[in-house]
Amino acid sequence: MLTEVTATRYVEPLRSGGSVPGVFETDDLGTYVVKFTGSAQGRKALVAEVIVGELARALGLRFPELALVHFDPAVADSEPHQEVRELHAASAGVNLGMDYLPGARDFTPEVAEAFPVDPLEAGRIVWLDALTVNVDRTVHSSNLVVWPTLGVAPPRLWLIDHGAALVFHHRWEGSDPAKAYDFRHHALGHYGPDVRAADAELAPKVTEELLRSVTAEVPDDWLAGDPRFATPDEVREAYVTYLHARVRSSAAWLPVDFPGADELAEENARRAASTRRGRPDWLKRVPDLHGRPAAAQDWSVHLGRSEP
């Protein structure tokens, strides 16, 4: 089961995402990025974080250690912003922590230009995203980081943020496990991901036994409240059934069509031009920042506990 810790000191909020997670020190002397049950994304985002993250780890991909964080809002009473305080107040109890990676850099297009990724490693990550329907790892928002960066070891690619995955659990009825999704603009698409080799390697490992062990990590409270299921174990079994059916039908959804760097640049230029044409004259003089990646977060002042 996931380690349980208690938040002891509030370090800072992270405002790069809509859920506004917070960095906390805990009673095991660790530092975690804590995602809250009271966020607008709801508890299903935390369920996705656990299932996809633990599945990634089981398949040999690099993903920070998760922990269940007991949180008393009084620990963060120094937070000056009303909306963040309200989020904290709505999240008393057990939340989800991800081990903090000091000095990690966001995998932005600028970083990607100088960072080599093996086609098989890229293929494994794309394959996992396709299996778990994680359509939120794109060239504009990679949800990947490069760590470490301080000369301790060669920088490596780490997965983070899977709250938008498992889109089928927002509407179970009529969801087809064999459905193919558009991964043409995946963050690793231009590395020539060998998804066929990844499928041959990873698909046999995603057994019902593995899926049951992964879903068992999700707290009962995060699975309660859905009228379609009588118990949390019924919800877990629904995830197992769906994902096992999906992995067996990988031939139907395996993404193999990825545009090259030049094609991506042309598409982005057309999108930017189209956006500007639709603007009023006074806005056409304002720089279009929406297509640009967010600035890399500076995490170097904090200490984490994961090893590469």
**How far is residue 210's CA from residue 213's CA, in Å, rounded to a whole number?**
5
**How far is residue 54's CA from residue 239's CA, in Å, rounded to a whole number?**
14
Structural domain of 58? 3-99
At 55 the pLDDT is 98
Q: Are residues 148 and 9 in the same domain?
A: no
pLDDT in tens, 182-210: 999 999 999 999 999 999 999 999 999 99
Q: Which of 117-126, 142-151, 242-251 has the lowest mean pLDDT?
A: 142-151
**How far is residue 261's CA from residue 76's CA, in Å, rounded to a whole number?**
44
At 192 the pLDDT is 93
pLDDT in tens, 40-94: 989 999 999 999 999 999 999 999 999 999 999 999 999 999 999 999 999 999 9
At 282 the pLDDT is 45
Return the amino acid letter for 67.
Answer: A
Q: Are residues 119 and 90 in the same domain?
A: no
CA-closest candidate to residue 11, choices 303, 306, 305: 303
How many domains does the chain contain in total?
2
User: What's the pTM value of the predicted model, to 2 decimals?
Assistant: 0.86
Is the pLDDT at 300 greater than 50? The verdict is no
Q: Are residues 83 and 133 in the same domain?
A: no
Q: Are residues 58 and 171 in the same domain?
A: no
What's the rounded mean pLDDT across residues 143-163?
87
pLDDT in tens, 114-125: 899 999 999 999
CA atoms in the 13 A half-sphere facing the CB of 273: 6
Q: Are residues 95 and 113 in the same domain?
A: no
**How far is residue 22's CA from residue 168's CA, in Å, rounded to a whole number?**
27
CA 173 from centre of chain: 24
CA 238 from centre of chain: 21
Last residue of a domain, one of 66, 99, 132: 99
Percent of the chain residues topping a pLDDT of 70: 86
Residue 73 burial by Cβ neighbours in a 10 Å radius (0-12, 13-18, 19+): buried
Q: Are residues 145 and 71 in the same domain?
A: no
Whether residue 299 is contained in a domain is answered as no
Identify whether 308 is preceded by a cis peptide bond (ω within 30 of 0).
no
Contact 145, 296 (CB under 8 A): no
159: three-class secondary structure by DSSP: strand
Q: Are residues 162 and 42 in the same domain?
A: no
Whether residue 121 is contained in a domain is answered as yes
Cα Rg for the chain, rounded, in angstroms? Answer: 20
Whether residue 227 is contained in a domain is answered as yes
Q: What is the mean pLDDT of the chain?
A: 88
